[in-house]
Structures are given as structure tokens and as C-alpha cells.
Amino acid sequence: MPCFDLTPHVSCIELRGGSRLDFLQRMSTGDLRGMQTGEGRYTVLTTPIGRMVDWLIVLALDDALLLLGSAGAQAKTVRWLRKHIFFNDDVSVEAQSDVVVIGAFDVPRVRAQYGNALPEQPLRFAVMDNALVMRAPEALGVGYWLIGAPTLREQFALEEAEAWEAYRVQHAYPAFPNEISEEYLPLEAGLWGAISFSKGCYTGQEVLARMESRGQIAKKLCALRAGEALVRGDVLLHAGTPVGQVTSAVREVGLGYVRTPHCEVGAWLETPQGARVTITALVRV
């Protein structure tokens, strides 16, 4: 199983202060109440109209929250969070620029390095030796993310940068800016596990609650497979009418947003060049 240097793709932002959890609770879509040290949960930062600023994994440390997001959105996310700090909030937001993230899906190799006392549930983590070791998101299959100093790179034989893109597309894992951006809403991206419909108010809640209650999701993120190489940006056609677009592609496998009436596993669409594209799954994380 491969090991990847995810540092160019994953950002680390640290929240500190006594009201850090309450602050993020009101700022994002997930229900973070009751988080315990060693636990991780998904959440999304959204605009007032429900568009995605970034998709985050929140990790609860003893004295801080570590937010794992998109490297390309880190500066924007830091500004977004700081902009919404009230005068009575006890919270600070700091980008962590010297942190390395390794995606190590070779489980025996990780256990040989850190022992068998590793977290087994997705998004759970433990601090072990020189790294925070987190069970990888379930969508990516068995494995761990290792978060720590640059010396982590010396412990594993890492794949070339392009290999991560192929791996995450094959596993239908959304990424910024292809599938995660202000062009889309988290329900369209299939991020149901990051959204609470029972918690209190947060930015963008009204739009997402209305979409869910009425079942009015305009488009959905789909896993795609074609008979020939796909290209990011390819328009997807149904009977000659544009109904979607490829957002990520690695050879014949891709991801793309497709209008909901045409989102059915096994259904097929076409590119303008006549390539037949089959929907193999609806993304749900």
C-alpha cells in the first residue's frame, strides 16, 4: 500500500482559547459538542448562502483544536475565522506552516513504526513518539495520517506527487479547488457526515436546512468511469444537453458534478467528443 506526502494538499490551523469549541460550533456545519481529546469530526465552513469555504477535519487536543483543511484554502480560511471572532470570544487562530502530513496506507509499516496501540476508528488519533497518528478518513480505505515535523518524511518511502491525485480520485475523495469551493454546497459534494440538521444556528444553516427538507439539491458529485481518458473541465451531455462537468480526472476515472435528475448509478453520459461516461457511484463522505 502506498505512502504519500500530503503536505502540499492538507493545511493545519490551530485554534486555542477557552471558547474555541463554542466558536467553531457556531461557525460551521458539524455538531462539535462534547468532543473529547483524541476525537476527530468533520465540519464545513460555509458562506451565508451555504457555499463551501473549506471542508475540515477537527481534531480535539488537550488544549487546542487542530483543523485539517485544504492547503490552497488555508490563508482564506484563517482570514474567514478571524473575521468572525467577537470581542468576548476567547479564541486565537493560527496557521501552522511547518507541519508535515503523511498519508501512510501501509498499515503494517505504521504499526512497525509506532506499535499496535493505534486508533482503529476513522478520525480518531493518538500522539505517539514524534507524530500525531490519525486513522485515515474511511473513504480512503485502511490507513493512517501522520502529522508532525519534517523528519516524518525520512521514515517512509513516499510516492510521487501525482500518485496522490490518482489515489484520491479512484477513491472518490473530494478536494479543493476541484470539488470543494464556493461554487458548490456541501450537500452537493456529498458531505452529509459533516452537516448537522439539529444543532443551533451557524452561518449558511437556513440554506442547507431548506435544501435538505425540500429535497432540492440541484446537482450531485459523482464518481465516473469512461471508455477513454477523461479531462478535467469536460462537459457531460445527456441527449446532447449539458448536464454536468468533470472536476477531476486521472485517465479513465474521474469525479464530476451532475444535475440531480441524471444522477443514477449505472446511468451513462457523453463528452462532446463522444466518449461514453458511466456514473459508478454517488459521492457520500
Placement of cell 499496535 in the chain: 116
Q: Indicate the pLDDT class of residue 172, thresholds 50, 70 and 90.
A: very high
Q: How far is residue 172's CA from residue 189's CA, in Å, rounded to a whole number?
A: 11
**155-167 pLDDT, tens per residue?**
888 998 889 999 9
Write out the CATH class of domain 218-282.
mainly beta
Superfamily of domain 3-170: Probable tRNA modification gtpase trme; domain 1 (3.30.1360.120)
The answer to whether 172 and 223 are in contact (CB under 8 A) is: yes
Rounded CA separation 254/249 (Å): 4
Percentage helix, strand, coil, to 5, in the chain?
20, 35, 45
Interior angle at CA 109, CA 103 and CA 115, nearest 5: 105
What is the pLDDT at residue 143?
Answer: 94
Q: Average of pLDDT values for 182-204?
A: 95
For the chain, give every residue range classified as CATH 3.30.1360.120: 3-170
- In which band, very low, low, confident or very high, does the pLDDT at 200 lie, cut at 50, 70 and 90? confident
**How far is residue 20's CA from residue 65's CA, in Å, rounded to a whole number?**
7
Which residues have CB under 8 Å from 136's CB, separation 6+? 103, 105, 122, 142, 143, 144, 145
Per-residue pLDDT at 281 exceeds 80: yes
pLDDT digits (tens, 9 = 90+) for 46-90: 999 999 999 999 999 999 999 999 999 999 999 999 999 999 999
pLDDT at 127: 92
Q: What is the pLDDT of residue 115?
A: 87
Q: How far is CA 215 from the centre of its chain?
A: 23
pTM of the entire structure? 0.95
Q: Residue 194: pLDDT above 80?
A: yes
129 confidence band (pLDDT: 50, 70, 90) = confident
**Which three three-digit cell numbers place residue 51?**
457555499
Mean pLDDT, residues 192-201 taken together: 92
pLDDT at 229: 95
Q: Are 101 and 68 in contact (CB under 8 A)?
A: yes
How far is it, in rounded angstroms, from Cα 95 to Cα 98? 9
What is the per-residue pLDDT across 218-277, written as a single tens digit (0 to 9) for each?
999 999 999 999 999 999 999 999 999 999 999 999 999 999 999 999 999 999 999 999
DSSP state of 75: H
CA distance 231 to 47: 29
